[in-house]
Amino acid sequence: MLILLRSDASAADRTRVASAIEAMGFRFQMIDTAPRAAIALLGGEGRVDPARLAALPGVEDIIPLSRPYRMVAREWRPEPTIVALPGGLAVGGRDIMVIAGPCSVEDEAQIRATARAVRDAGAVALRAGAFKPRTSPYAFQGLGPEGLNLLREVRDETGLLIVTEALDEAGLDQVAAVADIVQIGARNMQNYSLLKRAGRAGRPVLLKRGISATLNDLLLSAEYVLTEGNPDVILCERGIRGLDGSSRAFFDLNAIAAVKSLSHLPILADPSHATGRRDLVPAAARAAVAAGADGLLIEVHVNPEAALSDGAQSLYPEQFAVLMGELRGIGAAIGRKLAERR
């Protein structure tokens, strides 16, 4: 950590910062830049709270020199985390895991038909929400526990793994009883009470990036889960808030490779939310695989026009099947392959 002083900081200001660093139990090193001096804090290794130093007189800015997270950092653990899943599947290794399904569980016919369609096209896991976080209180909020029951039945029938979202601490336990992977959605990425509970859930956690979260924010949220004892966190890029005047989300493609350089955790992409438009989903899905994503989360619906949520970004099953073929080719071009059920 570097404490950058103002150009008009006094010698007393400098001494005060140095003393504060020592009082915190660390060492310091003066740096003789002009017009403003800087003081390096040594020995902190990324877990120093800068609040106390930032408030001292004469301090202009605090510049981190190490990452604010540790357990999720690649520099502390170079080898990739590979999250083992039932059925011999895994996320984070050579195989690319495709998770597909509708936004919400709507009824038995819909979830069964969609599950079969995505399985037949090659998906190994089913995504579908039983508890839905909706911007509007007037929008469909999900079937709740009944939706979880339907997911359990579909898993038994199809052999697909289940990925579904938990919205709150009480719901997390219900979800963890059914899901193979518990999803924490973008809106809850900084719901720390929920993250801590997820850290004790005994299930892999799929943590989606918040709508304008930096990678630092995302990785610190993952750190909350790991510090509670759960090493199995799978990150997911799902697009960020875009520019005024654009009806598209921004798919932050660079985040995939950037996360891989910062962290040993696997990262998926969600091209459906990262585009918001069915016609853009295939291009974004192909791009994510080409960029090195460890998997995809794709919305597919047997009858998008009748979907209770997100129909406009759901692929038709036939589109999904075509896309899977393209993804196999792209995977091969970069030395990977799509995960397959045994």
Site for a copy of itself in 87-126 (CB under 8 A): none
Judged by CB under 8 A, does residue 130 bind a copy of itself?
no
Q: Which one of residues 79, 137, 156, 342 is an interface residue with a copy of itself (CB under 8 A)?
A: 137
44, 155, 189, 281, 323 from 97: Cα distances, Å: 38, 17, 22, 17, 14
List the interface residues with a copy of itself, window 210-229 (CB under 8 A).
Answer: 211-212, 214-217, 220, 223-224, 227
**In the complex, least distance from residue 23 CB atom to a copy of itself, rounded to whole angstroms:** 10
In the beta sheet, which residues pair with residue 234? 206
- Least distance (Å) between residue 76 CB and a copy of itself: 8
Instruction: Round the CA-based radius of gyration of the chain to a whole number and report it.
Output: 23
With CA atoms as reference, report the closest residue to 218 among 237, 244, 200, 193.
237
Per the structure block, which two tokens stand in for 316?
Answer: 């038709």
Residue from 251, 266, 268, 324 touching a copy of itself (CB under 8 A): that is 251
Which parts of 142-161 interact with a copy of itself (CB under 8 A)? none
**Residue nearer to a copy of itself on the CB measure, 90 or 312:** 312
Is 258 one of the binding residues for a copy of itself (CB under 8 A)? Answer: yes
Phi, psi angle pair for 205, to nearest 5°: -115, 130
The closest alpha carbon to 118, from 143, 133, 97, belongs to 97
Nearest one of 189, 160, 178, 165 to 98, comparing CA atoms: 160
76 binds a copy of itself (CB under 8 A): yes
Binding of a copy of itself at residue 252 (CB under 8 A)?
Answer: yes
Among 13, 18, 24, 40, binds a copy of itself (CB under 8 A): 40
For the record, the structure tokens of 124 come out as 């190994």
Q: How far is the CB of 56 from a copy of itself (least distance, A)?
A: 5
Binding footprint of a copy of itself, residue count (CB under 8 A): 117
Site for a copy of itself contains 194 (CB under 8 A): yes
Residue 227 C-beta: closest distance to a copy of itself, Å: 5
Asked if 31 contacts 38 with a C-beta cutoff of 8 angstroms, the reply is yes
Which residues between 259 and 298 bind a copy of itself (CB under 8 A)?
Answer: 261, 274-275, 278-280, 283-284, 286-292
Q: Is 42 in the site for a copy of itself (CB under 8 A)?
A: yes
- Residue 333 binds a copy of itself, judged by CB under 8 A: yes
DSSP label of 106: -
- Which tokens hold the place of 26? 């660390």
Cis omega (within 30 of 0) for bond into 35: yes
